[in-house]
Chains A and B, each alone.
Chain A
Amino acid sequence: MEGSGGFVDRRLADYVSLITDSLASQDGSAFAAALAINATNSYAETVSSCLDHTKDPARILKQVDKHAPLGEMLLHHTRAMQCYHQNRYVDAYNSLEKSANAFLQEYRNWESTWAMEALHVIVYALRTVGEMADREMAMNGKAPDKLKGAGSFLMKVFGAIQGKGPKRVGALYVTCQLFKIYFKLGTVHMCRSVIRSIDTSRFFDFEDFPAKDRVTYMYYTGRLEVFNDNVSAADRKLTYALERCDPFKKANIRMILKYLVPVRLALGVLPKESLLTKYNLSEYIDVVRALKRGDVRLLRRALKANENNFFRSGVYLVLEKLESHVYRRLLRKIYNIQKQRDPGRAHQVRMEVILKAMKWLEVDMDMDEVECSMAILIHKALMKGYFSHKSRVVVLSKQDPFPKLAGRQQQ
C-alpha cells in the first residue's frame, strides 16, 4: 500500500539521517549507537522492519554517499541487522563481515580518530555475532568457522590501526576482543603475535591506553602466564589488573581473583577466608586450610573435589605444586614445637616424628616417600638444611631454616 510504503521509507530515511548527521558533526557516540547490533538500544529491530517492507532500500541508503562513501557498507550493515533480528545468525555474520570490510577500507583514510567508538562497536559485533553463527552451524551439523573468520578479520583491523598515529589508542580494545576469540576457540597460541606487537611498541606507552582495556589485557596475559606456570609474571599482571579494576564490578574482580589466588598461594601469601566467600571462590577454602595446617590429605581432597573446574580453568598445575608448601608448613610446625621443648636440639627432626605426624593426619606414606618429599623441599630451597640417611634425620640450618617465600619463583 502506498501510504505504509512511504511511511516505512521515511523511517529508513530517518535512520540514514541519524548517520549523516553524526558524520557531519563527527559525533562518535551517535555514529556508534546507530551501527550497534546486539546492544540494548540498537536500531536492529527498526531497520529490520523497514527492510522487510521497503521496495528499494539501496536508493535511500545511498544518500549517505553525499557525506562519505559508506553507501555499500550501509547496504550490507542493514542487511546484517535484518538477519540478526530474524535470528539468522550465519547470514547476519556474512553481511556484517562485508559491511566491516567496506567500512575499514574507508576508515583507513580518515585522519582523525573520532569514529573509533564505531569501529569498536563493529568489532564487538563481529565477535558476538560470529559466536552465535558458530552455534547455529553446529546445530545444523556443519563445522563452525565464522568465529575463526572473525579472528582473521580482527587481525586485519588490528594491523590497520596499530602503527604510528593517533588511531593506535584503539588497538588495545581490538587486542582484547581477539583474546576473547582465541580463548573461546582454544587457539591461545595465536595471542602471541598481538602481544608482541603491544609489548614492544616504539610508538606508544602502555599507560596511554584506556584503563578498561589495560585491565582486560593484563587479565588475559596474566592467565596465559598461569597456563605456562610463570608464577611471578602472572602475579605481576593479575595484580595490575586487580588494582585498576572498577571496585563495583564484582564479577570482573571475581574473574581476576580466580587466577590470582592460586598464584599468590604459590608465593606463600594466603587470603582471608572472608575474601573467598565474598567473591564466591569457595573452591579455594580447603586449599588455604590445608596450607595453614600442613595437611596433605586435605589438599589432595580439595583438588580432587574440584578437579574439573581446576583443569578447565588451567589452575590445577599451579595448585598441585602447593603440596611442597604443605610439607614445608608441617615441618615448620614440628620445628616450632621442638623449639619450645628443647631449643638446643630443635633443628634436628627425626624421621619417626615426621612419619608419626603423617599417620596422625591419615596420610598414607612410607619412609621412602617421606624422604623423597624432604629431599624435594631442600632441593627447591623451601627449607634449608640436609638429610642424613644413616641417622634418618633432617638437619635444619640453625639460621633461618624456612626462608621467606614471597617473590620467589616457583621451580
Chain B
Amino acid sequence: EENKRRQTRSKRFENCKGGATVVKSFVKGRGGSASNRRASALKIALSCGDGNGQAVEDIDWDSLTIKGTCQEIEKRYLRLTSAPDPATVRPEEVLTKALKMVESTSKNYFYKCEQLKSIRQDLTVQRIRNELTVQVYEVHARAALEAGDLAEYNQCQTQLKTLYSEGISGCCNEFTAYSLLYIIFQNGSNRDLLSSIARLTPEAREDEAVKHSLAVRGAVALGNYIMFFRLYKTAPNLNFYLMDLYVERMRFEALRCMSRSYRPTLPLEVIARTLGFTNGAQADKDVLDECEEWVKAHGGQVVVDSASSERQFDAKASAATLFMPEPEDAVAHGDANLAVNDFLTRS
C-alpha cells in the first residue's frame, strides 16, 4: 500500500517540468483508488500546457477534493488546522443521518451546536454545496435563534443568503423574514433596510412570514405598540424570537407614550393586555403582578383606585420618573451565554 503510494508520488515528479509546485494532496488517507484518481488528475494538470501547469480554474478540483469514509453519526467538533484525514470525514449519506439525529435529540443547545458545526465542517472540506448543506444551516440557524445565540444565527444566515443566491432550494422566504427583522432590531442602517425591501421579489412579498416582518417594521416605524404586540402574538415560524429582542424597548417606549398622553391614570389591566403580558385573554392576578413589577422596575408608579380597588398606572406622576434600567444579565464582556453562573447550571 505504502509502496504503491510512493510510486504514484514519484511518477508525478517525473512528469513535472519547470518549477511547478506540487499541489498539497491529501495522500494520507486510505482508499487507494481515490488517491490514484487524485494523483492522475494532478499529473494531467501539471503535464499539460507549457510546464507551468494549467490555469487554476481548469484543474479538476473535484477529483482532488477528498471523499470522506467515516461512518460515525456523532462526532465532536475539532477545528481543522491542516488537511483532514478522509477517515475522519463523514460522507454525505452519513451526514444526512447525523442531521436527523441532531434534529430529534433532546440534548441541549451546546451539544446540538457542536454537532452541527462538525457537520458543517465535513460538508465544507468535501465542498458539498446542495440541499443538504442548506438544511444543515437552516437547522442550526433555527436552533441558534431559539437559544438566543445571535452570533451563530447571523453566521448561518450569511451562508444561507449565498447558497440561496446560487439557486439551491430551501426555506428562503422563512429566512428572508428573519433577515429583515434582524436588520430592524440590530439597528441596521436605514439604507440596508430599504435596499433589502426593494430587492424582495413579488412572490416573497406575498409570503406570510415576510408580510409579518414587513408589518412589524411598519409598527416599529410608527411607534404603534398595539400593532406590535398583536403581531408578537401571531408571529409565524420563529419571528417571535427575533421580536423578543425588541420587546423590552417597545414596552418602555409605549409606557413613556402613555405617561405623556393619558390623564390622570390608566388601568393596569389595559397595559397588561396591550403590551403583551397576557395571551389575549383577560389579565388574571398573576399577570397583573408581573405587569406591576415590570412597570415599577422602570420607575412607573402604580396606585390602587379607592372606588373600584382596581390597580391603576399613575400616568401623571410617572411621566417624570420613568427610566430604562440596566439589563439584569449584563456581563462585562456583553455575552450572557458566557456568564459563569449560566455555565455551571447547564446540563
Question: Contact residues of A with B, CB < 8 Å?
Answer: 186, 188-189, 227-229, 308, 311-312, 314, 316-317, 320-321, 323-324, 368-369, 372-379, 386-389, 395
Contact = CB atoms under 8 A, between A and B. Distances in A.
B263 A388 contact: yes
27 contacts: A186-B195, A188-B191, A189-B189, A308-B198, A317-B221, A323-B222, A368-B274, A369-B226, A372-B224, A372-B225, A372-B226, A372-B227, A374-B261, A375-B261, A376-B222, A376-B223, A376-B224, A376-B257, A376-B261, A378-B261, A379-B257, A379-B260, A386-B261, A386-B262, A387-B261, A387-B262, A389-B267
Nearest to B214: A307
Given A311-B198, A376-B257, A389 B222 contact: no
B214 to A, nearest CB: 10
Nearest to A367: B226
Interface string B214-246: 000010011111110000000000000000000
Contacts of B194: 227, 311-312, 314, 316-317
A369 B262 contact: no
Nearest to B267: A389
B190 A227 contact: yes
A228 B190 contact: yes
Interface in B257-294: 257-258, 260-263, 265-267, 270, 274
A125 B274 CA distance: 59
B256 interface: yes
B22 interface: no
A312 B198 contact: yes
A389 B267 CA distance: 8
B20 interface: no
A314 B221 contact: no
B201 to A, nearest CB: 11
A378 B260 contact: yes
Nearest to A378: B261
Interface of B: 189-191, 194-195, 197-198, 218, 221-227, 256-258, 260-263, 265-267, 270, 274
B291 to A, nearest CB: 16
Among B218, B222, B265, B267, find the residue whose CB has the most chain A CB atoms closer than 10 A. Answer: B222
The 7 A-B residue pairs with the shortest CB-CB distance in the complex, in nearest-first order: A378-B261, A386-B263, A375-B261, A379-B257, A311-B198, A372-B226, A312-B198
B190 A321 contact: no
Contacts of B190: 227-229, 314, 317
B274 A387 contact: no
Nearest to A187: B191
Given A188-B191, A368-B226, A379 B262 contact: no
A375 B227 contact: no
Given A227-B191, A314-B194, A320 B222 contact: yes
B118 to A, nearest CB: 32
A321 B222 contact: yes
B245 to A, nearest CB: 20
A389 B262 contact: yes
Given A188-B191, A317-B190, A375 B262 contact: yes
Given A369-B227, A376-B257, A320 B218 contact: yes
A311 B218 CA distance: 13
A321 B190 CA distance: 14
Contacts of A368: 226, 274
Nearest to B260: A379
A320 B197 CA distance: 15
A283 to B, nearest CB: 15
B270 to A, nearest CB: 7
A380 to B, nearest CB: 8
A395 B260 CA distance: 13
Contacts of A373: 224
B198 to A, nearest CB: 4
A342 to B, nearest CB: 23
Contacts of B262: 375, 386-389
Given A189-B189, A189-B191, A227-B194, 9 more contacts: A186-B195, A311-B198, A368-B226, A372-B225, A372-B274, A373-B224, A375-B260, A376-B222, A376-B224
Nearest to B258: A375
A379 B256 contact: yes
Nearest to A375: B261
B325 to A, nearest CB: 21
Contact of B222 (A227, A229, A316, A324): A324
Nearest to A376: B223
A300 to B, nearest CB: 10
B270 A379 contact: no
A311 B199 CA distance: 9
Contacts of B225: 372
Contacts of B257: 375-376, 379
Contacts of A374: 261
Contacts of B226: 368-369, 372
A311 B197 contact: yes
Among A189, A229, A379, A395, find the residue whose CB has the most chain B CB atoms closer than 10 A. Answer: A379
A323 B221 CA distance: 11
B183 to A, nearest CB: 13
A228 B262 CA distance: 31
A379 to B, nearest CB: 4
A189 B197 CA distance: 19
Contacts of B222: 320-321, 323-324, 376
Contacts of A308: 198
Nearest to B308: A390
Contacts of B221: 317, 320-321
A188 B222 CA distance: 25
Contacts of B261: 374-379, 386-387
Nearest to B196: A311
Contacts of B189: 189
Contacts of B191: 186, 188-189, 227, 314
Contacts of A189: 189, 191
A73 B292 CA distance: 76
A142 B220 CA distance: 40
A405 to B, nearest CB: 17
Contacts of A395: 263
Contacts of B224: 369, 372-373, 376
A387 B258 CA distance: 9
Contacts of A227: 190-191, 194
B311 to A, nearest CB: 14
A171 to B, nearest CB: 25
Nearest to A311: B198
A373 B224 CA distance: 7
Given A317-B190, A323-B222, A387 B263 contact: yes
Nearest to B191: A227
Contacts of B195: 186
Contacts of B198: 308, 311-312
